[in-house]
Amino acid sequence: MSRMTAARAAVHILKAEGATHLFGLPGAAINPFYKALQDDETLRHTLARHVEGASHMAEGYTRAAPGNIGVCIGTSGPAGTDMITGLYSASADSVPILCITGQAPVAKLHKEDFQAVDITAIARSLTKMAVTVLEPAQVPGAFQQAFHLMRSGRPGPVLIDLPIDVQLAEIEFDPDSYQPLPVYKPRASRAQIERALDMLGAAERPLIVAGGGVIGADATELLVAFAELTGVPVVPTLMGWGAIPDDHPLNAGMVGLQTSHRYGNASMLAADFVLGIGNRWANRHTGGIDTYTKGRKFVHVDIEPTQIGRVFAPDYGIVSDARAALEIFVQAATERELPDRAKWAAECNERKRTMLRKTNFDNIPIKPQRVYQEMNRVFGEDVRYVSTIGLSQIQAAQMLHVYHPRHWINAGQAGPLGWTVPAALGVASADPEATVVALSGDYDFQFMIEELAVGAQFNIPYIHVVVNNSYLGLIRQSQRSFDMDYCVQLSFDNINAPELGGYGVDHVKVAEGLGCKALRVLDPADIAPALEQAKQLADEHRVPVIVEAILERVTNVSMGTELDNVVEFEPLPESAGDAPAAAYSHQN
């Protein structure tokens, strides 16, 4: 046995559990932990500019690859409360991150000490475990349990709060004999899968809905194999985008109110059976439940027992990890005679071929559709996209193409503004040689713009496409029912940048002031050259590169669609030339 500080033991456990990257800010109450980090050169620490930013960096790092667990660190008081948004985002999307906070000495916890807040009480509803460790000898067990809970069942975040005197106390700990606890995942039975296949076989027009749980379980190859065995088209959810390549013949498109495709909605309305795997029936996917469920049966497979029946009661529910279920689905499907689904799949493909959105606009100011068209062309199939919320994200889901799992990284349920910059830094930290492209409107970009300096300081290159309409478009849409247009303008006359013509913040100057490279595009013909240049600048300078596209300042184009009341505000494409970057344009 070795004698060491509890903080040092915690660092040993982080390494033994596979943690490699940490994001955070030092401070008085967490400095003993930082001293232990300094004494160990194997863990990489990235200094954030805002503690919320550190939590989103940890999210991006986790989301980028199977097995990753991002770690975010802050001192006592406001550092912990700043990370609450990251815990919410991670919890909502089943993302395991470990949040470590410093705390006042144990004897001062109830004496209103400086920056002493009951962070565990605040974080408890958003985590799988939130604990203030009061005894130094309990630190190893708390960290061991944290990793066990983060990985078991439905993944999620954990917060460990460490009083400063607990960190400093010496304990007996043997790093060489430490072992992680076994991970628990529920598994479907063969009988359950057989029943689900019976229901699938009885349907005439079935669909598979693939949620983020398929990607989280690293089961996308099994999903595609099962779809190909059965001939059943697949609808990926926003969190499941990339589970099946966009150009796969059995990809039926996304469904929902906003982040959806016209052809996906049409195929869902034509279906008579849906097998949902690793999804949560989120309202942006379902829209009105009565319309979504009318005339079709449902089987729901999910890792979390309380998720079955939460939104609506399926005809049959199975509690299982997505990978465990798909392994049996594939095995069972190979052992039975399956109906021929070629006609139904062809119908879905015909909708996909014909029900496209027009993207090829030459308007000045630039229409956003043209931005996404050029992104598809320039970045190709291996790009990793990162986005959070707003019209930019909705339009991206309708017009971009994703071909691989974890290549669309998105804050699906929480959607916090400001998430994109730090999350992209986390993704790029996890995969430094990848082409990482973040996508924001101007408001999301401004929320945590200071984190660009982190990318410059630590040489974390990525490309950030900012579609700037100087307007809170999605918020304005939600105000329509109140007959208002209040506090949604971001425009003002910037005395330092009169050439912007009232667009307000000069994002190019701000980004350059933070140590990054930046380009501005006013003409649609210049979008592709700017994106190509951005790739070169990122490779050369190893810093974030911003490409800002100046759009119409105020838009009245609604990108939302209802499953039973689809409304288009733009002309539909009349030829392949109107949507030249479609992933399936070869079919036109």
The C-alpha angle 215, 399, 403, rounded to 5 degrees, equals: 35
pLDDT at 556 exceeding the cut of 70: no
Per-residue pLDDT tens for 294-323?
Answer: 999 999 999 999 999 999 999 999 999 999
Dump the DSSP string for 472-536. Answer: -HHHHHHHGGGT---S-B--B--TT-GGG-SB-S-HHHHHHHTT-EEEEE-SGGGHHHHHHHHHH
pLDDT attached to residue 528? 96
User: How long a stretch of residues is the chain?
Assistant: 588
Which range, of 133-137, 256-260, 337-341, 535-539, averages the lowest pLDDT? 256-260
What DSSP element (H or E) covers 464?
A: strand 463-468
The token pair that represents 78 in the structure block: 């406001």
**Res 377 pLDDT > 70:** yes
**Helical (H) or strand (E) element with 207:** strand 206-210
Identify the pLDDT of residue 569. 58
- Domains, the chain, in order of start with CATH, read 2-177 (3.40.50.970), 190-354 (3.40.50.1220), 368-587 (3.40.50.970)
Residue with tokens 């974080």: 123
What pLDDT is stored for residue 552 in this prediction? 78
Mean of the per-residue pLDDT values of the chain: 91
Distance CA 553, CA 193 (A): 52
Q: Indicate if the pLDDT at residue 557 is higher than 70.
A: no
- pLDDT, tens digit, for every residue of 162-196? 999 999 999 999 999 999 999 999 999 999 999 99
Q: What is the spatial distance between Cα 301 and Cα 319, in angstroms, rounded to a whole number?
A: 6
Q: What's the pLDDT score for residue 264? A: 93
The C-alpha atoms of residue 197 and residue 192 are separated, in whole angstroms, by 9
* Segment among 399-408, 410-419, 445-454 with least mean pLDDT: 410-419
pLDDT for position 554: 56
Give the pLDDT score at 563.
42
Q: Strand, coil or helix: what is 41?
A: coil
Of 91-95, 281-285, 543-547, least confident by mean pLDDT is 281-285
Of 402, 387, 410, 390, residue with least CA distance to 63: 410
Residue found by looking up tokens 């005197």 in the block:
165
Residues in contact with 510: Cβ distance below 8 Å, sequence separation at least 6, in sequence order: 449
pLDDT at 268: 95
φ, ψ dihedrals at 520, nearest 5°: -120, 140
Cis peptide before 365 (omega within 30 of 0): yes
Q: Which of 358, 359, 357, 370 is nearest to 551 (CA)?
A: 370
Instruction: Please tell me the distance from the alpha carbon of residue 525 to that of residue 377, in angstroms, as a whole number.
Output: 13
Low-confidence winner among 84-88, 241-245, 476-480 (lowest mean pLDDT) = 476-480
Using DSSP bridges, classify how beta strands 436-441 and 316-319 pair: parallel, antiparallel or unpaired: unpaired
How many other C-beta atoms are found inside a 10 Å radius of the C-beta of residue 581?
A: 18
- pTM (2 decimals)? 0.93
Confidence of residue 391 (pLDDT cuts 50, 70, 90): confident
**pLDDT tens-place string over residues 517-527:** 999 999 999 99
Structural contact between residues 18 and 70, judged by C-beta atoms closer than 8 angstroms:
no
Query: Does pLDDT of 568 surpass 50?
Result: no
pLDDT at 583: 60
Predicted local confidence at residue 498, as pLDDT: 84
pLDDT band at 151, cuts 50/70/90? very high
Mean pLDDT of 262-283: 94
Percent of the chain with pLDDT over 70: 96
Lowest mean per-residue pLDDT among 40-49, 337-346, 355-364: 355-364
- CB count within 10 Å of CB 324 equals 19
Run of H or E including 285: helix 283-286
